[in-house]
């Protein structure tokens, strides 16, 4: 027997011959592969035969990075030949500014020259650090030139750098996770929804953006994409809202969201429907809403709990969870409360009913607004925003609320890290979760600068009021 080969046919390779990879090696199955050419290569060199000298470029088709953040673009010259090869080979990277797919001299970023041969099945890795100047996608061209290379088909490669979105440029701003839905009450069913808000001064295209939820016991989670209906732009302008909601109905005006929140009828509100779904399956007790951009980078996330709801409600059903101010931290429970909107139970695609103004404190001081405030769940002056301005840039702070007799009512921060300035919300509750009594309260803030160890403290007062009946 001169040669013997054992093989198993595969329907997907029908019409292609089985070629020996290296002719002077054994007849093991590992030395055979289907031809790269339909019909095979009878009478010619096998398409699977490696050349003696063959360098090939290897580069990822896509990189991603946040804006203005340096990213390492790596690429390699891989030796697919049978002999050591590559000494003196030249690798170049170009920024394809005119998008013609060619590496032109005025687009060259850097040149690399190999100082030694590359062993068979080994590679020479090089990298270039690139800092994007804007949020526009950057396209690269890579070239490889090696004298004596016997296969030039893989000596040019293309790649792109997709610029991600700044963290918290767009934030989750409202969540209806427990909608009112009943087949027996003859009331319009609410859909669950997630509202996002562009708090930045930039415009974003939401195509490819998504929201994901808490993984189940198998590690699987739902992901919903912002897919615009025909005639609607996927562009989110600065200070604009967008709503993601499930819907089976094809018509926007017949959707459950429009029927439940009638002020949206015939409006230009950005509503993205998740078609073929009746629910987003958001958790009712504790859940996760994670917003990702088109590169997969997380832009904002909220891990919410049912005890974030207003203490004035016996049930959160039909009431959305609203962020008090889009500028506040997303994962601080004090940034959220139940919607006080009595007509709709939420405010998708418009300023939240629970909205409270941001506040800036004068230099090295503490300020409170509104003052007085009335935490009664009516949506007006329900929360006191405590703003501080410190001397140091990196601090540990304690913030406590006392009554006029000096008794501790609530600890808002206890050795928490803080920047030079910031805001804290007091919702009027004491340590037991009950609404504090009407009266005057003292806000006491202590801070220690982590760099200089300097300490400072501030006091101010806030009045907790209630409407006279």
Q: Taking Cα atoms as reference points, which of 80, 245, 90 lies closest to residue 174?
A: 245
The pLDDT of residue 469: 60
Per-residue pLDDT tens for 355-395?
A: 988 877 777 789 999 999 999 888 889 999 999 988 888 88
Give 357-469's CATH code, choosing from 2.60.40.4070, 2.40.50.140, 2.40.30.10, 2.40.30.30. 2.60.40.4070
Give ranges for CATH 2.60.40.1260 in the chain.
Answer: 168-355
Fold for the domain defined by 55-163: Immunoglobulin-like (2.60.40)
The pLDDT of residue 21: 81
Label the pairing between strands 270-275 and 241-247: parallel
Q: Higher confidence at residue 35 or residue 93? A: 93
Arithmetic mean of pLDDT, 413-431: 91
Residue 385, SS3 per DSSP: strand
Reported residue count of the chain is: 469
Assessment of whether the complete model's pTM goes beyond 0.85: no
Per-residue pLDDT tens for 57-75?
A: 999 999 988 888 899 999 9
Label the pairing between strands 408-418 and 55-59: unpaired
CATH class of 168-355: mainly beta
Per-residue pLDDT tens for 170-227?
A: 999 999 999 988 766 667 889 999 999 999 999 999 999 999 998 877 787 899 999 9
Cβ–Cβ under 8 Å, residues 143 and 55: no
Give ranges for CATH 2.60.40.10 in the chain.
Answer: 55-163
Cβ–Cβ under 8 Å, residues 344 and 260: yes
CA 115 to chain centre: 42
Give ranges for CATH 2.60.40.4070 in the chain.
Answer: 357-469
């Amino acid at each position: 027997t001169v040669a013997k080969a054992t093989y198993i046919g595969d329907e997907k390779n029908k019409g292609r011959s089985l070629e020996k990879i290296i002719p002077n090696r054994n007849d093991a199955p590992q030395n055979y592969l289907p031809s790269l050419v339909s019909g095979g290569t009878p009478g010619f060199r096998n398409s699977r035969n490696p050349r003696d000298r063959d360098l090939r470029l290897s580069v990822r088709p896509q990189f991603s990075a946040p804006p203005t953040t340096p990213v390492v673009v790596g690429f390699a010259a891989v030796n697919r030949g049978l002999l050591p090869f590559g000494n003196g080979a030249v690798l170049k990277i170009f920024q394809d500014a005119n998008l013609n797919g060619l590496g032109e001299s005025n687009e060259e970023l850097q040149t690399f020259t190999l100082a030694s041969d590359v062993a068979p099945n080994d590679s020479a890795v090089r990298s270039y650090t690139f800092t994007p100047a804007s949020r526009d996608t950057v396209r690269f061209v890579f070239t490889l030139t090696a004298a004596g290379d016997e296969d030039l088909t893989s000596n040019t490669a293309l790649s792109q750098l997709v610029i991600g979105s700044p963290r918290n440029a767009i934030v989750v701003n409202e969540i209806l996770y427990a909608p009112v839905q009943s087949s027996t009450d003859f009331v319009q069913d609410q859909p669950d929804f997630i509202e996002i808000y562009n708090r930045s001064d930039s415009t974003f295209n939401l195509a490819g953006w998504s929201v994901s939820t808490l993984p189940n016991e198998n590690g699987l989670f739902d992901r919903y994409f912002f897919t615009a209906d025909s005639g609607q732009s996927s562009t989110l302008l600065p200070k604009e809202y967008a709503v993601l909601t499930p819907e089976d109905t094809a018509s926007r005006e017949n959707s459950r969201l429009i029927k439940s929140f009638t002020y949206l009828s015939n409006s230009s509100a950005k509503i993205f429907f998740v078609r073929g779904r009746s629910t987003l399956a958001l958790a009712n007790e504790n859940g996760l809403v994670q917003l990702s951009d088109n590169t997969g980078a997380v832009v904002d996330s909220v891990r919410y709990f049912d005890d974030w709801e207003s203490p004035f409600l016996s049930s959160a059903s039909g009431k959305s969870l609203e962020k008090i101010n889009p500028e506040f931290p997303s994962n601080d429970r004090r940034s959220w409360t139940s919607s006080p909107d009595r007509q709709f139970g939420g405010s998708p695609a418009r300023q939240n009913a629970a909205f409270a103004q941001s506040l800036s404190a004068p230099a090295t001081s503490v300020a409170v607004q509104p003052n007085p405030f009335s935490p009664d769940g009516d949506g007006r002056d329900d929360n006191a925003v405590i703003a501080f301005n410190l001397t140091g840039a990196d601090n540990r702070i304690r913030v406590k609320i006392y009554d006029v007799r000096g008794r501790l009512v609530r600890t808002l921060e206890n050795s928490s890290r803080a920047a030079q300035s910031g805001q804290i919300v007091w919702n009027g509750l004491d340590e037991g979760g009950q609404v504090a009594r009407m009266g005057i309260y003292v806000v006491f803030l202590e801070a220690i600068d982590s760099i200089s160890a300097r300490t400072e403290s501030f006091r101010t007062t806030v009045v907790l009021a209630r409407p006279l009946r």
